[in-house]
Structure 1
Amino acid sequence: MDFTAPVVYSKLSLSSSLFLCFVLALLFVGSLYIWHSPHPRNHPETIKKRFAGILVSIVASITILWAASSEDREDGFPLYWRLGIKLEGLVPAVFYPLILTMVLFLGPLVMIIADGDLYSCLENSSHKHVLWWRNFFIAPLSEEFVFRSCMLTLLVPHFGQNWSVIICPLFFGVAHLHHVREQLRLKENRPPVHVIWMNAFFQFFYTSVFGAYSARLFIRTGHLVAPFVCHSFCNFMGFPDFGRIFELPRVRGFLLAATYVAGATGFFLLLDSLTKPELFA
């Protein structure tokens, strides 16, 4: 049983679907700047203002999706179900994709445990500061809702599942380029312009790769919670520090490299079996 996205929004034209995806991305990024803040992005005041802006963009996105689905409602599926908000198969949708992602991060997890940093990482990420809410709840949930739930239901009817997994993350990657604007506005400790752009293009690359994985999770499971929990976990882990392998003594470095390879191998071997649509009702 495949996810039923191909029958959703099937009466919209291809150009209309792409235009709506562009509008959703523009609304999401624009919502971050509705209320001006003189402080940097990690300041509590800036984060709280952006929370409010994101809420506005989500309400607008739901309204747009509801209006766009007016001719597709005869299939009997409610809008929230189409967007991956459902109870059927919820528990497997939480744990199987999370286990799969943890296998991929086997190397970084082993490195954290070997360095004795696991407890401190958990302790630092468990406090209820506004930054915690942004990194591990609001940002992952809102981004997955807009850039996966909403956009995939628009793209899959025209591009199919495989091409949609490639196209959808491009909106996600481009949306992150707004960080360039923030860094260029810095008055103190601003990196050189070419460094800012190099970091931006690198971020575009890895967010697009993650976006493809996340899109596949949504299509295979039909659940918003699947990409959400994996997104939160990836935010907790951060980008793997591959340079750490070469800083260790030769034997330890070789063993750590082996865990990276084992994690990547296990991930690809388990990718299909842990995301079978039948597992998620």
Structure 2
Amino acid sequence: MELRVAIIYAVFVSASYPLSIYVGQSNRAVTSRNDHDVMKRRMKAVSAVSLFHLVFSPLFLARLEATSWLEGLSKLGVIPGLVVGTSVQFDVRNLIATAFDTFKVLALVSVLFIGPTWHYLYDCFLTGSVFGAVREDLITTFTDFQSLRDYIVSPATEEFIYSSVIMSIFLPFVRSNEISFTKALSVTPLLFGFAHVHHAIELHRSGRHSAVAIAATTVFQLAFTSIFGLFTNFVFVRTASVWPCIFAHIYCNFQGFPDLRIEASRDLQLAYYLMLALGIVGFKDLLYPLTQHSS
């Protein structure tokens, strides 16, 4: 199969995700993306699209490498322990390795967020009960409908589409030296980034933002999501599983983008910025060791 066919299919897969949330919306009143009915409809839409690609992408991968549907499914890394060769097997050691890989990747992103985590725990300490404050925040954060979208549906479906499916489409061409690994890894995250550009439409419809503010927000979001997509694609290739990508996405959604300014004394601000820097250095140094596939 030609590379251009794979590119066309990858663009189709990528575009189908954001387009699905607008299906059937043309005659509806414009409401906030955080409206209960809007969230419910969109979660159903992206889940349906993901299920569609879970069924049909293995067929494309099977055609790509002249293998079976099950082998195509196994390459997506969605079923830990599934091993397809001359026979179909369930390998418990592979399942355990995936769990360990997920833990290591979570440890890696925890290092990156060591500054915000320290600042959060320090604020909790000031309330008099770290455990109680953390427990209350977790209950508040994870028990509403928006949390279902932000911490379950979005991370799972986005990582399946943009890390698992998209990277699996191009890896055969990397192995055959038709494209370089660097190019596949660096270009494909742009599909993930552009999938978020549609938020600019919603900002414009709200009527509360200037054109400059919308443009700045869109450019920042495109850059941020593309960089994050680069990381999760790297993790997917290194671990051969989508689950470490999903849990890393959940953790990063929970943390949000680190605050660049905090209300604190000069000494605490200095400690915070030092930890931000240490987090970046630690992340760089631990990137390869903590994404090495466990065996």
TM-score by length of 1: 0.88
Q: 1:198 to 1:236 in 2, by over 3 A?
A: same
The amino acid across from 1:227 in the alignment is C
For structure 2, the 5+ residue unaligned runs are 82-93, 125-132, 174-178
Partner of 2:129 in structure 1?
none
Q: Pick the aligned partner of 1:59 from 40, 45, 51.
A: 51
Partner of 1:25 in structure 2?
14
Partner of 2:265 in structure 1?
249
Q: Pick the aligned partner of 2:111 from 103, 107, 118.
A: 103
SS of the residue corresponding to residue 206 of structure 2 reads coil
Structure 2: distance between partners of 1:199 and 1:44:
24
Partner of 1:91 in structure 2?
99
Structure 1: distance between partners of 2:14 and 2:3:
17
Q: 1:138 to 1:254 in 2, by over 3 A?
A: same
Structure 1 window deviating more from structure 2 (65-74 vs 215-224): it is 65-74
For structure 1, the 5+ residue unaligned runs are 1-11
The amino acid across from 1:201 in the alignment is V
**Do the aligned residues in 1 keep the contact of 2:61 with 2:168 (CA within 8 Å)?**
no
How many aligned residue pairs are there? 263
Q: Which runs of 4+ in 1 moved over 6 A?
A: none
**Do the aligned residues in 1 keep the contact of 2:10 with 2:169 (CA within 8 Å)?**
yes
Once the two structures are superposed, what CA deviation does each residue of 1:100-141 show, in whole Å capped at 9, x if it has no partner? 0000100110111111164453232221x2211100010000
Structure 2: distance between partners of 1:229 and 1:194:
34
Structure 2: distance between partners of 1:31 and 1:169:
20
Structure 2: distance between partners of 1:144 and 1:274:
19
Once the two structures are superposed, what CA deviation does each residue of 1:38-83 show, in whole Å capped at 9, x if it has no partner? 3211011001101121122113323441332343243796222100
Note the C-alpha offset of 1:257: 1.1
Partner of 1:125 in structure 2?
141
Structure 1 window deviating more from structure 2 (99-108 vs 266-275): it is 266-275
SS of the residue corresponding to residue 22 of structure 2 reads coil
Structure 1: distance between partners of 2:246 and 2:213:
30
**Do the aligned residues in 2 keep the contact of 1:84 with 1:224 (CA within 8 Å)?**
yes
Structure 1 window deviating more from structure 2 (212-221 vs 26-35): it is 26-35
The amino acid across from 2:202 in the alignment is E
In the alignment, is residue 157 of structure 1 matched against residue 157 of structure 2?
A: no
Q: Pick the aligned partner of 1:172 from 172, 188, 192.
A: 192
Note the C-alpha offset of 1:162: 2.5
Note the C-alpha offset of 1:179: 0.2
SS of the residue corresponding to residue 115 of structure 1 reads helix
**Do the aligned residues in 2 keep the contact of 1:35 with 1:49 (CA within 8 Å)?**
no
The amino acid across from 1:138 in the alignment is V
Q: What root-mean-square deviation, in Å, do the aligned CA atoms of Structure 1 and Structure 2 show?
A: 1.8
